[in-house]
Structure 1
């Protein structure tokens, strides 16, 4: 995808909303394979995509994703994996179905809850996809840039 043509109304990335949705579907396929480097960063990818595409996000998930992204950027991949595995274990019918929340990822600043979400990001799913196939080489670096750009844009919207 080049810089010419339609832009996504949600994230400002190239290709339009349909392209972003198709890329996200491809990324989820890679994530669900549980293979390196995609699988371990599934939670980060979902959080970034939903922040940048709020029309597709689960209502009320903002504070949880906000905390998760801050935790990932501060602590790194391996501590995030441990915490997300624990949160997933709690989110079952055997434990009463406690949903993961922001407290699972402590240390984040307050969620800004803007009147309007950002419409442009320095890094989008199109950048992470590098043409659509999400190459393994450099994937984690691109996801880190995606998370940083997502939090920066939302933080700039206000308290």
Structure 2
């Protein structure tokens, strides 16, 4: 049996994540549309992998998803793409990065990729609900997203 991950606490998280990415990249329902949410959850639960923004964009994306579902995520991504234009300067990521005076959380997540995978195959039935629970559990540990 695989030891629990020191970052998220899941067993076999790396292999499970690669399996999820394969499903995401198929672009099939229900996995494909939730790719950004799934990646954000995984990165925030593995803070050593966070990009230079310290998780700000990932936290903003999860907050948007929990507040407004996939339409809100699509709007956020559309704004990010527009802001990524070579004609725009002074860009900033949505949401707050690691809060001042605090380090990124390690462990303590009520839901990890292991629970989302269920039997290791990420069954389609209930997948969106499991991802929503994953997003909520991730943000709960990280704390509120500041504007």
Query: How high is the TM-score relative to the length of structure 2?
Result: 0.82
Does 1:132 pair with 2:129?
Answer: no
TM-superposed CA distance for 1:65, in Å, is: 0.9
Does 1:62 pair with 2:62?
Answer: no
Q: Which residue is 2:32 aligned to?
A: 39
Equivalent residue pairs, number: 141
Contact 1:65 1:102 in 2 (8 A): no
Contact 1:40 1:81 in 2 (8 A): no
CA distance in 2, matches of 1:97, 1:150: 34
Does 1:6 pair with 2:11?
Answer: no
Q: What RMSD in Å do the two structures reach over aligned CA positions?
A: 2.5
Contact 2:55 2:98 in 1 (8 A): no
3-state SS in 2 of match to 1:143? helix
Q: Deviations over 1:62-121 (max 9, x none)?
A: 111111111110011233234325534665xxx3297x8534xxxx5x445322413220
Contact 1:44 1:147 in 2 (8 A): yes
Query: How high is the TM-score relative to the length of structure 1?
Result: 0.76
Q: Deviations over 1:23-59 (max 9, x none)?
A: 1111111111111111111111011000001122223
Q: Which blocks of at least 5 consecutive residues in structure 2 are unaligned?
A: none
3-state SS in 2 of match to 1:43? helix
Contact 1:64 1:101 in 2 (8 A): no
Q: Deviations over 1:101-143 (max 9, x none)?
A: 534xxxx5x4453224132200000000112111111000000
1:96 to 86, 102, 107: 86
Higher relative contact order (CA 8 A, sep 6+): 2
